[in-house]
Amino acid sequence: MKQLAISERLRRLLVPTTRVAVLTGAGVSAESGVPTFRGAEGLWSKFRPEELANFDAFMANPRLVLEWYNYRRELMSTVQPNPGHKTLARWETYFQEFALVTQNVDGLHRKAGSTKVFELHGNIQKNKCAKCNRPAEWPAIFDPENLPTCECGGLLRPDVVWFGELLPVQMIEQAWSKAETCELFFSLGTSAVVQPAASLPLVAKRGGAYVVEINPEDTPLSGMCDEVFRGPTGEILPRIAEYFPHE
């Protein structure tokens, strides 16, 4: 395969001392076959996600909501990280300062070996208390007939951000800081319209970073990027890594 053509500026930035920040969206997970949020079938096709992924729905009918998350967790248990996930995990060990921010809740970045991950919307494989917010260990699949509870008596729920809930303030601030101080920013597989994550490339750009987009289609972000690659991240990221001096 012919080597991917990249700019000289990007090539010069692919050294360990460059401060790098990355934002990933649903497109990265889609390459692994992760079902879309709105791709439910059978019983679940009768519900809009907004009707299930919110706190009021959970408190009104926790069994129904937990059964839906059982369905989603079972689907996601069959998918594996793709070359894009694995490449980013290697980049974490290559760059001395590297931050990975994701809008995805599937946990595939961690499964691929990434550890410096800011999961803005949470992780569907983790749980927390709906009352005190304390993280909680629980089997991946809930028993709807024996609703799990915390030590405080509150019901356990998936540790994801539901409709109407705010993203974790501290995590947003940390992601913002990484974008402000990075020298190279990658926007990967995201439509760049869901806030506040959509602002991160703009923050990086204002801070003087070189902004690169990898996505199959144009996005509202494309016009302000310094370099754009059209295609799947799982194909393009490994080809960019071919330019690493020690990769």
Among 139, 160, 181, residue at a domain's last position: 160
171-184 residue pLDDT tens? 999 999 999 999 99
Claim to verify: residue 147 and residue 222 sit in the same structural domain: no
Residue of higher predicted confidence among 146 and 108: 108
Average confidence score pLDDT of the chain: 89
Q: What is the pTM of this model?
A: 0.89
Residue 13: give its domain's CATH number: 3.40.50.1220
At residue 237, what is the residue type? L
Is the model's pLDDT at 105 over the cut of 50? yes
Confidence of residue 44 (pLDDT cuts 50, 70, 90): low
Claim to verify: residue 107 and residue 192 sit in the same structural domain: yes
Please tell me the predicted confidence (pLDDT) of residue 247: 46
Cα(28)–Cα(23) distance, integer angstroms? 10
Confidence of residue 195 (pLDDT cuts 50, 70, 90): confident
At residue 41, what is the residue type? E
Active site includes 121? Answer: yes
Number of domains in the chain: 2
Distance of CA 214 to the CA centre of its chain: 15
Please tell me the predicted confidence (pLDDT) of residue 112: 95
- 85, 109, 121, 246: the catalytic one is 121
Work out the end-to-end distance of the chain between its first and last CA atoms, rounded to an integer number of angstroms.
Answer: 17
Is the model's pLDDT at 120 over the cut of 70? yes
Inter-residue contact 236 to 228 (CB < 8 Å) = no
Task: Give the residue among 244, 233, 239 at the shortest CA–CA distance from 81.
Answer: 233
Percentage of residues in the chain having pLDDT higher than 70: 93
What CA–CA distances, in Å, run from 210 to 121, 182, 236, 246?
A: 26, 9, 17, 21
Confirm whether 247 is domain-assigned: no
Cα(69)–Cα(34) distance, integer angstroms? 14
Provide CB contacts within 8 A for 167, sequence distance 6+.
120, 121, 161, 196
Task: Give the residue among 228, 247, 146 at the shortest CA–CA distance from 188.
Answer: 228
What is the average pLDDT across 75-92? 93
Claim to verify: residue 54 and residue 171 sit in the same structural domain: no
Claim to verify: residue 26 and residue 53 sit in the same structural domain: no
